[in-house]
Structure 1
Amino acid sequence: MNQLIDKLEHITQYINQLLMKQEGVGLSVAIVKDSDIIYSRGFGYSQIQPVKQPMDGDTKMSIQSISKNFMALSIMQLVEKNLLSLDDKVVEYLPYFRTRDKQQSDTITIRQLLSHTAGFPSDLGIGNMTAPNVREIFSDTPTEFQEALDHYNLTEEEIDGVKTREDVTRWFQKVELEYPPGKGWNYCTDAYVILADLFEKVTGVGWETHLEDEILSPLHMNRTTSDPTNVEEDPNSARYYLGEEKTETPFPKNALSAPIGYLYSTANDLGRYLAFHLTKESAVLRSDLIEEMQQPVHLVSEEWRFGSEVRSYGLAWFTDRYKSLRVIEHGGGQMAVRSLMTMVPELDLGIVVLLNFDGNIHHDVCDKIIDTFLDS
C-alpha cells in the first residue's frame, strides 16, 4: 500500500510541476487499476472568469473525439442484438447514402465507417461547421468564417440547410472517395454522423436516448451528457482557454454532430468507462464484441503515427505499443480542448487526462503514469 501511495504522490508532484507553467487553467486525471479508480484529482482551474473555480475529478468537460467511442459501442450493441452486422453495406439501411461514385459507395460497410477505412477524405468539415455557434468560432477577422467555408468547399446555404443527421448523410453525395473502400485509412470525423443516422433508422430511437438508457446509466456515468445547456449551467464545468493570453474560446457545442465530438464527461466517469472496457464485463456489451472493438483494422496514415511503426485503428480505438506494452486509446481536441483515455491491458491500467487548454501535456501525463506503474 505504501508503494502505491508513493507512486501516486510522485504523479501528483509531476503534474503540479507541469502545470506551474500553465497558470490559470486546469487538468483533471483519473487512474484505473484492476477495475477500481485509485486516483482522481483536479489541478488548477476549470474556470477563471468571473471567479476562479477549482478543477476536480467530477468537473464536466468536453471530450471531443472520445465521443466516437460511445457511438461505436452503440453500434456494437446492435450487432449483439442481431439487428445488423459490421460487414453489412451502409446502403442496406440508408438507401439514400451515396458519394459521387455511387458504384463505389454502395460497397461501403458499417465496419469501414467505424474504422475510417471507407475511402472518405479526412477533412470534410460538414460535421463541425454545422455547430450553432460556428460564426462565433470563426470571428477573429471579418473574413475568417468565409475562409473556413472556402477551406472546406462549403457554402452558407449548405450548412444552413443541414437540420438533421439524414441531411448530413445525403450531403455525402458530393464527396469524391480518395481510395477504394477498405484499401486505405483517413480519419474522417464526419462519418460518425452517418453512423448515428444509421443507428436511428435501424432502431427508431434517438441515439442520445439510447446512450443514456443503455450505456451511461448501467455504467453509473451520471455526469456524462450530450446536452450542452446542462453542462454550461453546471457550476462544476469547464471553460476553455487558448494560448498564453488564456483567451476564452466559444463553448464547444453541436447537438446534431454529438457522436463525432460533442459529448461531455468527467475524469471519474471516463474512468468507469475504461474499467468496463478493461474488464470486459458484459453488462453493457458481450465480452467478445468489446474485444473486437479493440482489435486493429488498419495502420493509420503517416501524420497520425507520431513516430510509431505499428499505430493502427480499430473500431473507435487507436492501438499502439509503448515500451513493448500494448496500448489502446482515443483522444480528442479542438481549439482549447484536449482529452485522452488510454488502456494498458498488461498492467490492468486505465488513464484519463482532460485539459481546458491547448498543448500536449495530456500525452506527457499519460506517459508518466504508465512509466510509474511499469517501474514496479
Structure 2
Amino acid sequence: MKQSKYKLNQITDYINELINNHQRVGLSVAIVKDSEIIYSKGFGYSQLQPVNRPIDGDTLMSIQSISKNFMALSIMQLVEKNLISLDDSIVKYLPYFRTNNKQQSDTITIRHLLSHTAGFPSNLGIANMIAPNVREIFSETPTEFQEALDYYNLTDDEIRSVQSREDVTKWFQKVELEYPAGEGWNYCTDSYVILADLFEKVTGSNWENHLRNEILTPLNMERTTSDSDKVERDLNSARYYLGENKIETPFPKNSISAPIGYLYSSANDLGKYLAFHLNKVPNILRTDLVEEMQKPIHPVSEEWRFGSEIRSYGIAWFTDVYRGFKVVEHGGGQMAVRSLIAMVPELNLGVVVLLNFDGTAHHDICDKIIDVFIDS
C-alpha cells in the first residue's frame, strides 16, 4: 500500500511541476490498474472566464479522435451479431458509395475504413469543414476561411450542401485514391463518417442512440455524450486555450461528424472504458473481437511513427512497444484540445490524459506514468 501511494505521489509531483513550470491551463488524469481506477486527479483549471474553475476527473472535455474508437466498437458489435463482416465491401451496404474510380472503390471493405487502409488521402477536410462554427474557427484573418477552403479544394456551397452522413459518403465521389485498398496507410479522419452512415443503414437506427444504450450505459459512462449544447451548459466542462497568451478557441462541435472526433467525456469515464478493453467486462463485445481491434493491421506512415520502427494501426488503436512492453493507444487533438488513452496489457494498466491546451504534455505524462509502473 505504501509503495502504491509512493508511486502515485511521484506522478502527482511530476504533473504539478510540469503544469506550474509551463503555466499550462488544465488537465485531468485517470489511471486504471487491473479493473479499478486507482488514480483520478485534475490539475489547473477547466475554464478561465468568467472565473477560474478547477478541473477534476469528472470534467467534461472534448476527446477528439478517441471518438473513433467508440465508432469502431459499435461496428464490431454488428460483426458479433452477424449483421456484417469486416471484409464486406462498403458498396454492399451503401450502393451510392464510390470514389472517382468506381472499380477501385468497389473493393474497399469495412476493415479498410476502420484501419485507414482504404487508399484515401489524409487531408480531405470535408468532415471537419462542415462544423457549424467553421467560419469562427478560421477567422484570424479576413481571408483565412477561404484559404482553408482552397487548401482542401472545397467550396463554400459544397460544405453547405452537406446536411447528413449520407451526404458525406456521396461527397467521396470526387476523391482520387492514392493507392489500391489495403496496400498502404493514410490516417483519413473523414472515413469514420462513412462508417457511421453504414452503421445507420444496416441497423435502421441512429448511431448516437446505440452508443448510449449499448456502450455508455452498460459501462456506467454517465459523463460521455455527443451533445455539445449539453456539454457547454455543464458547469464542470472545459474550454480550450491556445498558446502562451491562453486565447480561448471556438468550442469544438460538429454533430454530423461526431464519430470522427466530436464526442465528449471525462478522465473517469474513459478510465471505465479502458477497464473494459483490458478486462473484457462487462460483456458488451466478445473477447476475440476486443482482441481483434488491438491487432496490428498495417504499419503507419512515416509522419505518424514518432521515431518507432514498428508502430502500427489496428482497428481504431495504434500499437507500439515502449521499453519492451506492448502499448495500445489512441490520441486526439484539434487547436487547443489534446487527449490520450493508452493501455499496457502486460501490466493490466490503463492511462487517460486530457488537456485543454496545446502541446505534447499528454504524451509526456503518459510515458511518466508507464515508467513509474514498469520501474516499481
Tell me by how many angstroms 1:280 deviates.
1.8
| 1:321 counterpart SS class | strand
Secondary structure at the aligned position of 2:212 is classed as: helix
User: Deviation of residue 305 (structure 1)?
Assistant: 0.1
- Rounded Cα–Cα distance in structure 2 between residues aligned with 1:17 and 1:144: 37
Q: Would you say 1:238 and 2:238 are equivalent positions?
A: yes
Determine the C-alpha separation between the residues in 1 that align with 2:57 and 2:208: 24
Q: Residue 318 of structure 1 contacts residue 329 of structure 1 at CA under 8 Å; is this kept in 2?
A: yes
Which position in structure 2 is the counterpart of 1:94?
A: 94
Q: In the aligned structure 1, how far is the partner of 2:279 from the partner of 2:296?
A: 19
Q: How many residues align?
A: 376
1:272 aligns with 2:272: yes
Match of 1:251 in 2: 251
Q: Give the secondary-structure state (helix, strand or coil) at the position aligned to 2:310.
A: coil
Verify the 8 A CA contact 1:23 1:44 in the aligned structure 2: no
What's the counterpart of residue 48 of structure 2?
48
SS at match of 2:256: helix
Counterpart in the other structure of 1:373? 373
Q: Kindly state the Cα deviation for residue 282 of structure 1 after the two structures are TM-superposed.
A: 5.1
Superposed, which structure 2 residues align to 1:327-366 within 5 Å?
327-366=327-366
Cα deviations by residue, 1:122-150 (Å, 9 ceiling, x for unpaired): 01000000000000000000000000000
In 2, Cα distance between equivalents of 1:174 and 1:22: 44
* Paired amino acid for 1:70: F
Q: What residue number does 1:122 align with? A: 122
1:196 maps to which residue? Answer: 196
**1:345-366 Cα distance to aligned partner (Å, 9 max, x none):** 0111000000000000000000
Q: What TM-score does the superposition give when structure 1 sets the normalisation length?
A: 0.99
2:152, 2:195 → 1: CA distance? 21
Q: Which residue matches 2:70?
A: 70
Extract unaligned runs of 5+ from structure 1: none
1:112 maps to 112
Aligned residue number for residue 211 of structure 2: 211
Name 2:11's counterpart in structure 1.
11
1:121-160 map, 5 Å: 121-160=121-160
Query: Partner of 1:45: helix, strand, or coil?
Result: strand
Instruction: Note the alpha carbon deviations across 1:94-119, whole angstroms, 9 max, x for none.
Output: 00000000000000000000000000
Distance in 2 of aligned mates of 1:370 and 1:112: 31
2:33 equivalent in structure 1: 33
- Match of 1:256, SS? coil
* CA distance in 2 between partners of 1:120 and 1:338 (Å): 25
Q: How many angstroms apart in 2 are the aligned matches of 1:85 and 1:22?
A: 48
User: Helix, strand or coil for the counterpart of 1:20?
Assistant: helix
Q: Is the 8 Å Cα contact of residues 281 and 287 (structure 1) preserved in structure 2?
A: no
Tell me the amino acid that sits aligned with residue 66 of structure 2: I
Q: In structure 1, what is the equivalent of residue 319 of structure 2?
A: 319
Q: Residue 74 of structure 1 contacts residue 211 of structure 1 at CA under 8 Å; is this kept in 2? A: yes
Determine the C-alpha separation between the residues in 2 that align with 1:246 and 1:23.
10
1:262 corresponding residue in structure 2? 262
Computed over aligned residues only, the root mean square deviation of the Cα atoms, in angstroms, reads 0.6
Cα distance in 1, alignment partners of residues 211 and 258 from structure 2? 11
Within 2, Cα distance between the matches of 1:153 and 1:341? 33
Query: Would you say the 8 A contact 2:219–2:282 is kept in 1?
Result: no
C-alpha deviation, 1:22, in angstroms: 3.8
Partner of 2:352, secondary structure, is: strand
The gaps in structure 2 that reach 5 residues or longer are none
Looking at structure 1, the residues matched to 22 and 201 of structure 2 have their Cα atoms a distance apart, in angstroms, of 45
Please tell me the residue identity of whatever aligns with 1:31: I
Which residue identity is paired with 2:178? E
Aligned letter for 1:126? I
Aligned partners of 2:22 and 2:205: how far apart in 1?
Answer: 43
Give identity over the alignment, percent: 76
1:120 alignment partner, SS class = coil
- 2:208 partner SS: helix
Once residues 49 and 282 of structure 1 are traced to their aligned partners in structure 2, the CA distance between those partners, rounded to angstroms, is: 40
> For 2:75, what is the secondary structure of its paired residue?
helix
Distance 2:131 2:253 in 1: 6
Provide closer, same or farther for how the CA distance between residues 92 and 268 of structure 1 changes in structure 2, counting only shifts above 3 A.
same
Offset of residue 21 of structure 1: 2.8
1:270 offset after TM fit, Å? 0.1
Whole-angstrom distance in 2 between the partners of 1:193 and 1:211? 15
Q: Distance in 2 between matches of 1:237 and 1:284?
A: 28
* 2:81 pairs with 1:81: yes
